[in-house]
């Protein structure tokens, strides 16, 4: 099912209307977010439901919170225990700036969860050793660029066999930057049973093809011409 959302439907919805924990709602309020954006309004219930999702909405439309909020909620309510190096949520991004930005957003939105969910960012261009040490102290949400993540996996700094949620953020830029092979190698390491979320500003043929390959019976959210 595809949801196309005109802006007229957006303003009235409240974050409170989603099945998000009180701590998350309070945090959103403290950050001054009054109403969910269109992509958040459509995506949050789908993700909370555990479905796969393909979402496209332009830059600045609030895609990070659209996936971070429901994923934090799902992780907060999952009682499974994990070893220190076993990540449960993997967010793949094309650049180090974006890795840091998305990790900061997860930390900010999850600030009321008392540090129970550890968020780590790994990317190239900085020392591997430091990232290995940080991962050794535990990781729940791992935000990563593909190349550095492959290095770290090969050195056993982190394990991907328990990943329950996979996000491809800025999938279009990831393909434009030539990450196809590294992506394929990483995706092969993940469990086949997981929730996969695909976020992109544009939806050219190669992105559609990758999305089709990765997602199982996905819900589709497409937000046009507005934030």
Nearest to 54 by CA among 225, 226, 212: 212
Of the pair 67, 157, the CB lying nearest ligand ADP is at: 67
- 200 belongs to the binding site for ligand ADP (CB under 6 A): no
What's the token pair of residue 101?
């930005």
Among 27, 63, 85, 120, binds Mg ion (CB under 5 A): 63
> How many residues are recorded in the chain?
227
Distance CA 136, CA 180 (A): 28
What's the token pair of residue 194?
């997981």
Among 63, 120, 148, 165, binds ligand ADP (CB under 6 A): 63
Nearest to 105 by CA among 51, 176, 41, 33: 33
Give the interface segment with ligand ADP, choosing from 4-12, 18-26, 30-38, 88-96 (CB under 6 A).
30-38
- 60 belongs to the binding site for ligand ADP (CB under 6 A): yes
**Residue 173, CA distances (Å) to 108, 135, 157, 180, 204 in order:** 25, 26, 26, 11, 11
Of the pair 37, 219, the CB lying nearest ligand ADP is at: 37
- Is the CB of residue 165 less than 8 Å from the CB of residue 71? yes
- 27 belongs to the binding site for ligand ADP (CB under 6 A): no
- 62 belongs to the binding site for ligand ADP (CB under 6 A): yes
What's the token pair of residue 203?
């939806």
- Residue 68 CA from chain centroid, whole number: 6
Distance of closest approach, residue 120 Cβ to ligand ADP, in angstroms: 19
Residue nearest to Mg ion according to CB distances in the complex: 63
Distance CA 26, CA 86 (A): 29
- 70 belongs to the binding site for ligand ADP (CB under 6 A): no
Of the pair 91, 149, the CB lying nearest ligand ADP is at: 91
Binding footprint of ligand ADP, residue count (CB under 6 A): 12
Distance of closest approach, residue 103 Cβ to ligand ADP, in angstroms: 13
* Contacts with ligand ADP, residue ranges (CB under 6 A): 33, 36-37, 40, 57, 59-65
């Amino acid at each position: 099912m595809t949801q196309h959302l005109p802006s007229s439907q957006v303003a009235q919805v409240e974050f409170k209307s989603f099945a998000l924990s009180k701590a998350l709602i309070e945090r959103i309020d403290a950050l001054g977010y009054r109403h969910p954006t269109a992509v958040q309004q459509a995506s949050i219930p789908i993700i909370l439901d555990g479905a796969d999702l393909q979402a496209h909405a332009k830059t600045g439309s609030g895609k990070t919170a659209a996936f971070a909020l429901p994923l934090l909620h799902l992780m907060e309510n999952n009682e499974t225990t994990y070893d220190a190096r076993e990540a449960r949520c993997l967010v793949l991004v094309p650049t180090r700036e974006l890795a840091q930005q998305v990790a900061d957003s997860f930390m900010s939105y999850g600030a009321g969860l008392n540090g129970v969910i550890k968020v780590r960012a790994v990317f190239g261009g900085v020392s591997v050793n430091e990232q290995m040490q940080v991962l050794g102290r535990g990781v729940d949400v791992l935000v990563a660029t593909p190349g550095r993540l492959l290095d770290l996996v090969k050195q056993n700094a982190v394990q991907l066999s328990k990943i329950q949620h996979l996000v491809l953020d800025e999938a279009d830029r990831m393909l434009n930057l030539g990450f196809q092979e590294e992506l394929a190698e990483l995706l092969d390491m993940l469990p086949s049973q997981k929730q996969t979320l695909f976020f992109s500003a544009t939806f050219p043929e190669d992105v559609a093809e990758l999305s089709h390959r990765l997602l199982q019976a996905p819900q589709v959210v497409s937000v046009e011409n507005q934030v």
